[in-house]
Chains A and B, each alone.
Chain A
Amino acid sequence: MVEAGEVAVAIRGLTKKFPGVIANEGVDLTVNRGEIHALLGENGAGKSTLMNCLAGMYAPDEGHIELATGGRPLRTVDIRSPRDASRNGVGMVYQHFKLVPNQTVAENIILGADGVPFVPKMRDIERQVRELAERYGLDVDPTAYIWQLSVGLRQRVEILKLLYRGAEVLILDEPTDVLTPQEADSLGDTMRELAADGKAIIFISHKLGEVLKFSDRVTVLRGGKLVETIETEGADRASLARLMVGREVLFRADRDEQETGDTVMRCRGVAARDDRGLPALSDIEFEVSSGEIVGVAGVTGNGQAELAEVLTGLRKPTSGTIELLGKDVTDASPRRYIDRGVAHVPADRLGMGLAGDLPLTDNFIMKRYRHQPVSTRSFIDPKAVAKMSERYVERFGVKTPSIATPARNLSGGNQQKAILAREIDAGTHAVETPFIVAAYPTRGLDVGAIETVRTALLEERASGAAVLLLSEDLDELFVLADRIMVLYDGRIMGIAPSESLTQEQVGLMMAGEAMAPEASA
């Protein structure tokens, strides 16, 4: 039996390049058995890429990996595929779960696992899964279909999948992003139990609080390079933040106090269904006024996506009314919403916000191609398009080889800047006080781009826009939002000025506890 405290993983001098980007450069990292090792860094710091190399998804360009698993001493291993990784006792829970929705828990667990017979007896496997689940307190029904499970349960299935394969090194990529604070704590307990069992846990995060709470040691990455590995004990938020960002303060809130103006968007008793036809929103009632940012908190999948779509005309509510600047637009087409000054920074940049293979010019005119000066009657004026595009590129500092470059080829941050430029311009062009719905606008961006996005939103607020900001980052909400609203299971759990709320209160509401009446005053 290998003792806790021995080195389980050693990454030596790992470099991984992508076209135009060096994702990791000369990274050295060791992780011990029985340890929860946090990998901390900003978005784009190279945490996931590094772990994808360890898990066999990417092939490193330089460097090698040593493992002490399967009862064998530390040795260099050649990991060329996820299967190699799995056979060497390494497994990863990805940020986007790798599960087949229309198959059962048990089927997902045996997918690609060694030692399962050619014709599996599902009964036996379900029994094994049940036993494993009990041993680690990861209760889940092996015969349930994945699509029936909540996000938290799906995560358990992912962990069970690794345990079933005998993983000794478990990598969890941003595992708490999809959980309530309370669920996250329970995940923390599970990680401790696994570590106590002699497993090595690598826990990727960009959230300082969790890293301090759960981990034994922290390795900080910045710009693809390893900054330092330190003991968690003795570290604090400020020191970690400095290591992570490389300068004193990440972001200063410049949200000045200001009077709000007239109501821009008001919805009453709105309900809506999701893509599968199940109720996703019910009894949604709130308003957003000129000059304020309303933040929406909630665990992913509690109706945020549907809310953003309903308020931008992309999804028809099944009941209730929506007013923009005092005019009922409930049944209007998406086009009418655009004309009424609704701007939308969608959650899925390439999925909805951009036409990836079309040039930037085509992407820039998406909201204004029906109007002067871009088009007259049915005809589009290429010169006006070029002029407008140049203006956007300059104003938002979009880094691109030319305005004819396909949007897909820009970095995530520049894609987001392009969308913001277009949406804000189209919104303010239509009405004086536009309604801006920004869904996770800083997700996956580097520090510079995050600052651009946040500054732009605050500028719009100052000039009278009404902003609805959806975010999974509570820190961001507290910094930017005047009021915070919490969604749970498609309902509003509470809405209150952000100064009057604590992160703990918001966390409880995210878990489904309605706000105490006195707090909502």
Chain B
Amino acid sequence: MIPWTIKFERRLDPPRYLGWLVPVLSVAAALVATAVLLAVFGVNPFETYRAMWDGAFGGLFGGDVYSLSETLVRATPLILAGLAVAVSFKMKFWNIGAEGQLVMGGIAASGVALFLPGAVPGIPQNAVVYGLLMGGAAILAGAAWALVPALLRAYLNVNEIITTLMLNYVAILWYSHLFTSVWNDPQGFGFPGSALFERFTWFPRFFDTRLHFGLVLGLIAAVFVWVLFDRTRFGYEIRLIGDNPEAARFAGVSMFRNIVLVMLVSGGLAGLAGLSEVAGVSHRLQQGLAADNGFTAIIVAWIAKLRPWAVVLVAILLAAVFVGGDQIQISMGLPASVAQVVQGVMLFFVLGGDIFSRYRVRITRTAPAPATEAV
């Protein structure tokens, strides 16, 4: 018999500071747990974290912004995809398909960049016009890819977790097919990738780094989602559905309409993440567009508790883990996938830690049996 019991008492009026304190402590605890895990596999955790920090923010206090800019570049798709996930999760609509929607957005933007100048030469060839065209294409493609599971769920009640996920695989296979064969650069000597886009389709870059306009797009999107959540009827409706679909029905909220709208917004945001990657970083369709951004976005959104401004911060944190992971691969010869392990463990700790903000947890010694104390 275990000599103590864990008791959970619901907090009647949870203090507000727990809303951020618990996730912060959970992330810290996750770092400690990962350190233990690393030590178990014979890796020095202090050295590893040190190297990761250097990779992600190194030289920052000496005025060198290169590492930081790389981290922000890595954070950009995570912000956009994280917001995409947050929008659908807010309604408890489990869009696991941000990855596929991102890829479709990237494909559509690439299609415009690669073929539109040749097909319709009359369109002014400048960054603004092409930015808008590629953006529109990316949003539409991402939204369309998200619309399929939305309609299946709305009409036929088909489980969206599985359909969105399966469509990821389909999108990734199709995109591989495109850049390895159909859209493969004929002058590329068999290099798996499309031709380089024309210069005018590229996102502007800042500060002589790879930091590009996508980050601005991400911040605008964060403000957009914040307004959506906190200030609109639509945001109210998805919050209501997310908490209690029956209550939403009771309030006259149309489930069908909201499933479709939420997935259009979510898919569109994920599509923008794809645009940002091809127009801001690779400038061609090639390996590495997917890069698990859509999955990491789920971790981002959940650790951020679906709050738009927190999505930005958490995306930067997880991007730092990625960039740091690349660094330790170079400097310590460790696999970069340490990053994914750290992120997965973080999600677990935030998930499990949440109970401390909802309940007062008390561990008490199990009372001895009354029979022994009764006289």
Contact = CB atoms under 8 A, between A and B. Distances in A.
B249 interface: yes
Interface stretch (B148-156, B227-235, B339-347): B227-235
A380 B244 contact: no
A334 interface: yes
A429 interface: no
B369 A78 contact: yes
Contacts of B240: 355, 358, 362, 366
Interface in B322-375: 369-371, 374
A338 interface: yes
Given A362-B239, A379-B232, A401-B13, A354 B247 contact: yes
B12 A20 contact: yes
A412 to B, nearest CB: 14
A334 B250 contact: yes
Given A362-B236, A378-B233, A334 B252 contact: yes
A455 interface: no
Contact of A378 (B234, B370, B371): B234
A351 interface: yes
Given A378-B232, A405-B13, A409-B13, A352 B371 contact: no
A164 interface: no
B246 interface: yes
B10 interface: yes
B64 interface: no
Nearest to A402: B13
A421 to B, nearest CB: 15
A380 B374 contact: no
Most buried by B among A19, A335, A351, A367: A19
A87 interface: no
Interface string B102-130: 00000000000000000000000000000
B261 to A, nearest CB: 12
Interface string A355-380: 11110001001110110000100111
Nearest to B232: A378
Contact of A369 (B9, B236, B371): B236
A354 B244 contact: yes
A346 B244 CA distance: 14
B254 interface: yes
B198 interface: no
A370 B237 CA distance: 10
A207 to B, nearest CB: 30
Contact of B250 (A20, A353, A402, A409): A353
A409 B371 contact: no
B243 interface: yes
A409 B233 contact: no
A353 B247 contact: yes
A76 interface: yes
A409 B234 contact: no
A186 interface: no
Contacts of B369: 78
B6 interface: no
B371 A355 contact: no
A19 B235 CA distance: 33
A333 interface: yes
B251 interface: yes
Contacts of B233: 369-370, 375, 378-380
A83 interface: no
B243 A357 contact: yes
A337 B247 contact: no
Interface string B288-330: 0000000000000000000000000000000000000000000
A348 B244 CA distance: 12
A367 B231 CA distance: 17
Contact of A401 (B12, B235, B249, B374): B12
Interface class of chain B by DSSP: helix
Contact of A356 (B231, B239, B244, B248): B244
A78 B370 contact: yes
Given A19-B10, A20-B12, A333-B254, A355 B236 contact: no
Nearest to A66: B374
A365 B236 contact: yes
Contacts of A356: 243-244
Interface residues of A, number: 41
A209 B28 CA distance: 62
A76 B374 contact: yes
A73 B73 CA distance: 78
A350 B246 CA distance: 10
Given A64-B370, A402-B13, A358 B252 contact: no
Interface string A394-406: 0000000110010
A349 to B, nearest CB: 10
Contacts of A336: 252
Contact of A344 (B231, B250, B254): B250
B133 to A, nearest CB: 27
A409 B234 CA distance: 26
B236 A380 contact: yes
A208 interface: no
A380 B232 contact: yes
A77 B370 CA distance: 8
B371 A77 contact: yes
Contacts of B232: 378-380
A314 interface: yes
* Most chain A CB neighbours (cut-off 10 Å) among B240, B244, B371: B244
Contacts of B234: 378
A78 B372 CA distance: 10
A337 B233 CA distance: 19
A379 B230 CA distance: 9
Interface string B232-270: 111110011001101111111110000000000000000
A77 B371 CA distance: 6
B250 A19 contact: no
A369 B253 CA distance: 11
A19 B9 contact: yes
Nearest to A358: B243
Nearest to B13: A401
A366 B247 contact: yes
Given A355-B240, A379-B231, A380-B233, A346 B371 contact: no
A336 B251 CA distance: 11
Interface in A130-179: none
Given A375-B233, A409-B12, A352 B246 contact: yes
Contacts of B243: 355-358
Contacts of B9: 19
Contacts of A352: 244, 246-247, 249-250
A382 B235 CA distance: 13
A314 B371 CA distance: 55
Contacts of A313: 252
A152 B240 CA distance: 37
A313 B369 CA distance: 55
A426 to B, nearest CB: 10
B13 to A, nearest CB: 4
Nearest to A367: B251
Contacts of B247: 352-355, 366
7 contacts: A334-B252, A351-B246, A352-B246, A352-B247, A355-B247, A358-B243, A380-B235
Given A355-B240, A356-B243, 20 more contacts: A64-B370, A314-B249, A314-B250, A338-B251, A348-B246, A352-B244, A352-B249, A355-B247, A355-B248, A356-B244, A358-B243, A362-B239, A366-B251, A369-B236, A378-B233, A382-B231, A401-B12, A402-B13, A405-B13, A409-B10
Interface of B: 9-13, 230-236, 239-240, 243-244, 246-254, 369-371, 374
Interface of A: 19-20, 64, 76-78, 313-314, 333-338, 344, 346, 348, 350-358, 362, 365-367, 369-370, 375, 378-380, 382, 401-402, 405, 409
Which 10 residue pairs are nearest across A and B when measured between Cβ atoms? A335-B252, A355-B243, A334-B252, A401-B13, A366-B251, A64-B370, A355-B244, A78-B369, A352-B246, A76-B374
